[in-house]
Structure 1
Amino acid sequence: MQIFEEKTISSKKIFDGRVIQLQVDEVLLPNGKTSTREIVKHPGAVAVIAITDEGKMIMVEQYRKPLERTLIEIPAGKLEQGELPERSAARELEEETGYSCTALEHLTSFYTSPGFANELLHIYKADGLKLENRLHTDEDEFVNVLEVTFEEAQQMVAEQKIYDAKTVYAVQYWQMLKTLEK
């Protein structure tokens, strides 16, 4: 038993959607009291760091309704039922940007919001990029594909055009690669 473990007393599914499920759990706390936890269940997601031979990162600009604004992000998407993360990463890269790759390297995985959700995000680096010139976005997905220099990416972070954790991570990873090249 973990020292701060919360034992589930009961669980009630509130919502079962296309992307997420919401449940409310009653839990027994380590001090013997009870509390309620609202939990978002998510199938997991992938994101892809794709840097062209010309030294530009492939990004997408899209509107994010929960934020009521447009963000610039690295290509990403949710895992489909039974899909391996590496396969999902290749699929999302091609669907959202029109680029395929010859190799994917898993860099890291992390929980995006462990206080209320179980979404695990897997980040890959794509190599051997080739522009296939076709997008296969979902019918409710509208993106603008961008090729961004390192300096432009840094400026976008400063201007909060890049404002999500996975893309900030990608820019920091890129900075690390540039440092190692020196």
Structure 2
Amino acid sequence: MKKTLNIHSKTIAYQGFFRIELVDFQHSLYQGGMSPNIQRELFNRGQAVVVLLYDLAKQCVVLIEQCRAGALDQAHKNQDDHQAWLIEPVAGMIDEGETALEACEREVLEEAGIALNNFEYITQFYPSPGGSSEILHLYAAELDSDQVAEYSGLEHEVEDIRIIRYPFDQAKQQLLNGEFNVASTIIGLQWLFFQRLAS
């Protein structure tokens, strides 16, 4: 089947820290012909890097915890403020004119307080393609976990970050128990335990 896509228009509905676009498009159908015009609101976040930090010598993974806007509503509905604090790998947007590797270096320094340049590319993925154009570039880096800070974050970006060192056994068990709820955390840990450390 030849897949065909026609984008008729794309207009900006909102421009702030992020952008929302209105997209009018058609696509080819599996059984022939073209779809009717489809209109969708598209959350345009750009592209970002995610860096899973791990320490083979000390058998631990380094993750960060911070309050996240995307989790506020669910925490409020469940009347449990703690649910707004999520556990994730280091991550951040790729700035204009910046490469993914440069973004990795910058974000690790900002969020973990350590300078690294030994990044291993894992994959890239769409975390929520039904309504967002964001692409995440997932990397990993080995480090000495004794060198990371306890707390970090840029004051002018209102970041308040706690750094957590998880023993491999604990992180793997929590992964298998379904206790992590951030896609990049789950995907990164699956790579670590079932690809990088698989024997």
For this structure pair, what is the TM-score category when the shorter chain's length is used for normalisation?
0.7 to 0.9
Map of 1:150-165 to 2, 5 A cutoff?
150-157=168-175, 158=177, 160=179, 162-165=180-183
Q: Does 1:144 align with 2:144?
A: no
Q: Does 1:82 align with 2:97?
A: yes
**Equivalent position amino acid for 1:34 in 2:** N
Deviation string for 1:75-116 (max 9, x for gaps)? 111111111001111111111111222411111111222222
Greater share of residues in helix: 2
Q: CA deviation at 1:61?
A: 0.9
Identical aligned residues as a percent: 24
Q: Which residue of 2 aligns with 1:26?
A: 24
Q: Which residue of 2 aligns with 1:58?
A: 62
Q: Does 1:14 align with 2:33?
A: no
Q: Which residue of 2 aligns with 1:166?
A: 184
Which deviates more, 40-49 or 136-145? 136-145
TM-score (norm 1): 0.85
Gaps of 5+ in 1: none
Q: CA deviation at 1:8?
A: 2.0
Gaps of 5+ in 2: 29-33, 73-83
Size of the aligned set, in residue pairs, is 177
Q: Could you say what secondary structure the match of 1:45 adopts?
A: strand
Q: 1:33 to 1:61 in 2, by over 3 A?
A: same
Q: Which residue of 1 aligns with 2:198?
A: 179
Structure 1 distance, partners of 2:15, 2:140, is 32
Determine if contact 1:106/1:125 at 8 Å carries over to the other structure.
yes
**Equivalent position amino acid for 2:59 in 1:** G
Determine if contact 2:27/2:35 at 8 Å carries over to the other structure.
yes
CA-based RMSD of the aligned residues comes to 2.2
**Equivalent position amino acid for 2:160 in 1:** F
